[in-house]
Chain A
């Protein structure tokens, strides 16, 4: 199946710094990518929909100025957590949507563990 990578897999940063997470579709082009946040023992919460060449669409309650999303190419979307604080510590997961003929399928990255000290 199609492969989606995330980098880094794990990052530890100091409070107040910004962190960038990359999501790449390795063997297909994705006009749409999604960013999720997963809390321990909890479900995935959709944060935003990232469309190539246009602004991201954020879910209610997600601060767009804090979680900056850029989807500059058909294979790369980035999530930047600006001025990170300990409450931003979480597991961030991206997915990329591959359109195939009449249908589409979503492929998930392995996730990035962010710890803010």
Chain B
């Protein structure tokens, strides 16, 4: 079946460091790809998305490119802030809205 795999956490970075969180997927057809963020004590929020190959999603300095050839959707940010500390989830979704999530990566940014 469909699945999403993302890099293990926790990831600890210093403020202004470069961030990459890897995400790969296996799916039949061409899913839409998402990154969700869960701040402490809050629900999941959509961070960015891409609906077809070579699309780049971006928001709040984060970006990810839908790479069909490598079935990947890696999340990057050039300079992280303490306020970016959260758990990040990669997900693949079909037309009906059903989402398959990766295991989540906890990011901790130190001042």
Contacts and interface: CB of A to CB of B under 8 A. Distances in A.
Nearest to B95: A104
Interface string A89-108: 00001010100000111101
Contacts of B100: 46
A43 B90 CA distance: 10
A43 B89 contact: yes
Contacts of B97: 32, 34, 49, 97, 104, 106
Interface string B86-111: 00010001001111111110000000
Interface residues of A, number: 21
A44 interface: yes
B96 to A, nearest CB: 7
B46 A106 contact: yes
A111 to B, nearest CB: 6
A93 B45 CA distance: 12
Contacts of A108: 36, 43-45
Nearest to B6: A43
Given A32-B96, A49-B96, A44 B101 contact: yes
Interface string B22-52: 0000000000000010000011111000010
A50 B28 CA distance: 23
A95 to B, nearest CB: 8
Contact of B46 (A32, A41, A45, A105): A105
A41 B103 CA distance: 8
Contacts of A93: 43-44
A105 B104 CA distance: 20
A7 B93 CA distance: 26
Given A108-B45, A110-B42, A43 B102 contact: yes
A4 interface: yes
12 contacts: A32-B96, A34-B99, A44-B101, A45-B101, A103-B51, A105-B46, A106-B99, A108-B43, A108-B44, A108-B45, A110-B42, A110-B43
The 7 closest A-B CB pairs, nearest first, are A110-B43, A108-B44, A43-B103, A108-B43, A97-B97, A43-B101, A44-B101
